[in-house]
Amino acid sequence: METLAYLASILIGISLGLIGGGGSILTVPVLVYMFGISPLISTSYSLFIVGSTSLIGAYSNYRKGLVKIKTAMFFGLTSITTVYIIRRFMIPLIPYNLFQIGGFRVTEPILTMVLFAVLMIAASLGMIRGKVGKSGCLECNLKGNVTKLLLSGIGIGLTTGLLGAGGGFLLIPTLVLVLGLPMREAIGTSLLIIALNSLIGFLGDLGHFTIDWLFLLKVTLIAVSGILVGGMVGKNVESDQLKRGFGWFVLAVGILIICRELFFI
């Protein structure tokens, strides 16, 4: 199982390199179900793995002129602040036993994984249904303004802070629809925002958990190698078909997680 888990770690990086947003959503399930790490610590480890991997991807895109630094800084202001506050001050306050419904006790690990599964299903539907117009942007009727931009930053910060997910599947449409970035620049810029959100969120965790640095760095290096491979392979692969196929896979995993956590399958 451990060997299979490390192979899955490569897939985390490959998927992130191939499709940009949404690839990192596999990190927490891999850590929880394949490495046997608790959900709360897995969200912390995920922040470091996703942040480090995204930073490498952002640098690669920056060298190609596909990262808008000022856009990332402006957009990231609210999301980074939200992530740090959640990880530093709110996560330590969450009790293990949350509430009880009849004879079913809802604990922090169960709620974390169910919420993560819901996030996976939402992300998968976006990947499956996403349409690309003539301009290369996702088709949508949204019209951007500063309020929507700030609210989007807070929403992505909540997603990253609570669940350790990069939020790229939310970021890319926002950058395209609200700020009007071309798709390739949106992907590159989103990787920088994800890196900043995740790594600063991880800093907020320091002191709250005992970190197995050897394990964490090992998985991170494997994921980083994956994103480099994914970036090279992605040049010769049709991204729309790939994203839809990956979306169906994420949907299946999300449903399995809900069944496992709620129905003990």
Type of residue numbered 257:
I
**Helix or strand holding residue 105 (H, E):** strand 104-107
User: 107 or 232: which carries more pLDDT confidence?
Assistant: 107
pLDDT of residue 221: 92
Give the Cβ contact number of residue 226 at 10 Å.
Answer: 24
Q: Where are the domains of the chain?
A: 2-263
Higher-confidence residue: 94 or 170? 94
Specify the pLDDT at position 145.
55
Better pLDDT: 231 or 162: 162
Structure-token match 């819901």, residue found: 118
Can you tell me the mean pLDDT for 5-17? 80
- Res 239: pLDDT: 63
Is the entire prediction scored with pTM above 0.75? yes
Whether residue 177 has pLDDT greater than 80: no
> For residues 70 and 140, which has the higher predicted lDDT (pLDDT)?
70
**Average pLDDT over the chain, rounded to whole?**
82
Percent of the chain with pLDDT over 70: 86
